[in-house]
Structures are given as structure tokens and as C-alpha cells.
Structure 1
Amino acid sequence: MNPGYIYALQNRSFGSNIIKIGMTKREPKVRAKEIYRGASGVPEPFEIAFACKVADCEVAEKKIHRRFNVYRSNKAREFFIIPIEIAKKVIISVCQEVNKLFGYSNNELIVIENQITYNLEDYADDPPEVVMLSINSIVSSPLGTSLLSDEQKARVEIIAEIFANILRDTSDAWIMGFSGDHNPETEIYIWEHIATAFLKIEQVKFLSEEQKKEAFGILLMRSMRSASKVLEEFKLKTFSRKAAKEILRGYKLDPKPLKVWRRA
């Protein structure tokens, strides 16, 4: 067992949604200073946005990194594009899970936020044929067609958190929605990339509700159409064409049109 901390560090030079998530067996503030001293080209020190004490920091770090894998800023580094509020919820949840695994109580989970310590109570396939159909001719699969794993449910909860102010559905509603997919893993993966692209929008948290909805609509359409087709067909209201291009650059997957199964 390796007791220690899971930390989330922020740096003003990187922007508010870029977070370094790692583990340390010493005090998080010591680790933050070490990282700053060893990071050439970083003009400002790292700040501890959040940290949580856990029974085994190595196990917890692996679980958290796996859960946030799609949101990595760099595949070889521990930097993630994710709002700190969502990172905190996932870190607490995983630390509680690991503590329970090793027989530790979660009644007094030690957390550090803004330098203050608290007790916390408590995939490459050949593209399918693309055809144009009337939406009225498509019938969705019944809910419960697929069963989501606990890991998939946790990933869906992150997506729900990111889009909570736009779509306003509960995480349970999201999970139930994905249960109607024949291959929920593919759909979750696409939605994770939509979420990642959304978080890459500069100053995203300062956008108006109308701008956030339009940015979401642009990216949702991009998940099914090429960038050029989106620019050609999407009716822009709050963004210029140049701004829409920047938003589209954040989405990295090839377009995957809606898949349908024809019944005999």
C-alpha cells in the first residue's frame, strides 16, 4: 500500500481548464514546488487547486488518469483539459473508492483546496455507406438495449457535468440514453471528443448561454459531418466564420454519421 495524495495543480500561464493531475507521497505543496523548479519555460509557479489524501495514491492515480484519458492535453504528460470543478468530483469519488478498497473510513477524507486543509464528510473501421434519411423514418433502439459498465457510467457522468448548463439532463438520464445504443463505447468516445473540443474553446466559461449552445451545435454536427460541410450548412448566429473554424479545429475524430439498422 502506498498512502499519499492525489493533487490537481493549475498554472496561470496555461489557462483555467489545463490541470496537472498526479500523485505524491509527500505534502502536495512540496511536490508543486519541485514541478515548478523542474519545468523549464514555465514563468509562474504551480498552485494547488485541489488535493486529496488517499490510502494508495498509485492505485488512485491510475484510476483517475484512465477516467480522464481522452481529456489529456498531451498523451505523454499528466496535463488534462478539464474544469477543476469536475476534476475535484472525480478525484474525491476515486479516493473514496480506493479508501473503501483498503478498508479505510471515508468519514474524514482529508482534502486541500486553495491551500486550506479540510475534512470532507462523508478505432479504425471502413466507413459505412452514408445515406440521407428522413428523421421520421428512424426509430431509436429501446432503452436498455445495452448495459454500461461502471467505468463507462463514470465517463458518461463527466460528459454530463461538462454539458450540464447546456442540456440540463441528469447523469442518470445520460446513462439511460446511452443504454439505447447498440455500441455505447463508440458513442461515449465520440461524446468525449465533443466535450474535449468544447473545453478547448478559449474563455469558454465566459461565453453566453447562447454562444455555448451554438458552439455545442457546431461540434455535434462536426461529429457527423466534415468541417467544410459544417461551415457550409450550419447557420451561424453568434460566432463569425473565423471563430467557427477555430472551434472546429478542436475536434479530432473523423466524422461518424448516425448508424441505423434496417429491419427486414
Structure 2
Amino acid sequence: MTTREPEVRAKEIYRGVSGVPEPFEIAFACKVADCEVAEKKIHRRFNAYRSNKAREFFIIPVEIAKKVIISVCQEVNKMFGYYTDELIVIENQITDSLEDCADDPPEVVMLSINSIVSSPLKTSLLSDEQKARVEIIAEIFANIFRDTSDAWIMDFSRDHNPETEIYIWEHIAMAFLKIEQVKFLSEEQKKEAFGILLMRSMTSASKVLEQFKLKTFSRKAAKEILREYKLDPRPLVVRQLA
């Protein structure tokens, strides 16, 4: 954030931050009524995607970051009664957006039972902050799932503890984004990478390697993908009809 020209602040940060090999390149800048309030809101929404919990660097596609920043700035401007026709002040063509939605859902067989009883919609009410975090998850996996953000939010409303589920999905998304050159993977590879990580969220890495039928990745590559998921597994709990 800065109250001056973004280019000036970018140069200052580069000079003052050790370990950054190249100067910062400004991809995007928005005008907002209170940049401190906006920064705090943006950081909360990106919190799961920090590359280091103690630093303000995030692993997130530029196009998704832009959408979140615009949304937050509009929200803050409305809060302060500030309206402008020039919300976006810098927008450079730095693109690493994920590709269009895939036609088919990922083929991942997790378990075999007779029937699963789903909780009804709106079992839980998501807060605005939770909804914003779910929207980021939906954007990250837009090339795998065709569902809208609203559909994702409705699905999370089925959970008795949506905060826990959102937290897990954020870690799946973070691990997915950390796959080297994820944007260059084929649709089939992206589906398989997601399947590997989804199974890892529910069981150990060794069991994933034992049970998951790899099609596009080698065992070594699968191990590297699994290494990026940082949470302990949370087994899927299913109620079975009599």
C-alpha cells in the first residue's frame, strides 16, 4: 500500500528488502479511500496463500488477485462514501491466469458405499469473509470445475463446520498453485494433480501413492506434489443408509 505513486513505493521496497533478486514489477494498482483498511481486508482473504507466514508475499494468480483487490477496494470505497470513475490506475499485461474450465470433472474414486446422506443446503451460514475466501478457491479451480462461485458457496453451506472445510480447501489450493509451472500443465495433469491433493487431505502420502492410479505423473512427480500439502489428513466421515 502507498499514499504516493505506486512506482516510487515499489522501488523503495525493492531497495529495502533483502533476498529479492529482481525489482518489483507492478501488475495492478487501485485507488481506494483508505489503503490501510483495504490492505488488511486483502491480507485476510489471501492469508492461506502466504509463501511465508511472516512475510507479505503470496502465491496467487495475478488475475485472481486483481478480482479480489477490485472487490475489496469497491467495498472500502462504498464504506467511506468515496466514488471514483478511475478505480484502476495501473494495469499492466502480466498474465498467469488459469485456463478455461475443463469439460469433464476429475475422475477420482475415494470410497465405495451404497449411499451418502448429504446435509441440506444452508446447514451453516457463511460470513462475508468466508464467502470471499470460497470465491478465491473457486477461481483457482475454475479450470477443473465448471461450478460458479455461488454454487461453491452453497456447497460449503452444507458443512456443519464450514471454516474447517474452507481451511482444508485453501491448503489444497495452495499446494496446487505451488506445483512448478502449474499454468503449463495439461487439463488431464491438472485434474490428476487435484485428485492427488484431494486424497492427500484425507489420508497419508504413503497411502495416496499406494492407492492412487497415476496416469500422467511419475511416482517421483506425485511425491513432489504431495510434499506441498502441509496439513495432517482429515478422514472423510460418511453416514451410510441402512
Instruction: Please indicate, yes or no, whether the TM-score normalized by the shorter chain is above 0.5.
Output: yes
Deviation sequence 1:108-137 (CA, Å, 0-9, x none): 31331129xxxxxxxxxxxxxxxx974324
Q: CA RMSD in A?
A: 1.8
* Match for residue 220 of structure 1 among 190, 198, 201: 198
**1:130-145 mapped onto 2 (5 Å cutoff):** 134-145=112-123
How many residue pairs match? The answer is: 226
Q: Which amino acid aligns with 1:215?
A: A
- Structure 1 gaps, min length 5: 1-22, 116-131
| 1:158 Cα deviation from its structure 2 partner | 0.3
Distance 1:262 1:182, change over 3 A: farther
Secondary structure in structure 2 of the residue aligned to 1:81: coil
Q: Deviations over 1:219-244 (max 9, x none)?
A: 00000010000001000000000000
Q: CA deviation at 1:262?
A: 7.6
**Which TM-score applies when normalising by structure 2?**
0.89
2:220 equivalent to 1:259: no
**Equivalence for 2:224:** 246
Of the candidates 210, 218, 225, which is equivalent to residue 232 of structure 1? 210
Q: Percent identity?
A: 90
Corresponding letter in the other structure for 1:142:
P
Task: Verify the 8 A CA contact 1:100 1:106 in the aligned structure 2.
Answer: no
Verify: 1:68 aligned to 2:41, yes or no: no
Distance 1:138 1:28, change over 3 A: same
Aligned residue identity for 2:80: F
Cα distance, 1:41–1:72 mapped onto 2, change above 3 Å:
closer
Aligned to 1:104: 82
Higher relative contact order (CA 8 A, sep 6+): 2
Structure 2 matches for 1:75-154, cutoff 5 A?
A: 75-114=53-92, 134-154=112-132
Cα distance in 1 between the residues matched to 2:158 and 2:40: 30
CA separation of 1:106 and 1:225: change in aligned 2, threshold 3 A: farther
2-structure distance, mates of 1:31, 1:98: 22
DSSP 3-state at the match of 1:112: strand
